[in-house]
Amino acid sequence: GDLVRPTWQHDGENRFVLLEGGVLGRVDDMMIIRGVNIYPSSIEQILRSFPEVVEYRMTVFKEQEMDRLLIEVEDRLDNPQRLEEELRLRLSLKVAVQSVPLGSLPRYEAKGKRFVDQRGTVDASS
């Protein structure tokens, strides 16, 4: 279902809900990483605030029984640690950011699949 921020309004005897904040995200899009609720749309919003980021892909995987989040970015960043720090501050979660060459991530005509969840796959290192 959709996550919304309702606002209750009163009009005389009637009471109704306004959804002024719009849709905030979808519950089924939410992922839990090390006890933190994360929405891919929140990460996208942070990444898009950096004009140097051209394209990105998020991958969640297990490493030694712990969930990890890796964000690969095609970028023109002089200081990639700045992006990593912004993600940590805004998400309350340490996120690994890896710069990849321009043009190396897949492109999509319509809405791209920029989130990959590999937690259900078998870890080759175990």
- CATH number for the domain that contains residue 61: 3.30.300.30
Q: Answer for the pair 83, 97: CB distance below 8 angstroms, yes or no.
A: yes
Please tell me the predicted confidence (pLDDT) of residue 64.
Answer: 87
Q: How large is the average pLDDT for residues 31-44?
A: 87
| Burial class, 32, CB count within 10 angstroms (exposed 0-12 / middle 13-18 / buried 19+) | exposed
Whether residue 122 lies inside any domain: the answer is: no
Domain that holds residue 111: 31-117
Whether residue 6 lies inside any domain: the answer is: no
Whether residue 104 lies inside any domain: the answer is: yes
**Structural domains of the chain, count:** 1
Q: Is the model's pTM score more than 0.75?
A: no
Residue 32 has pLDDT above 90, yes or no: no
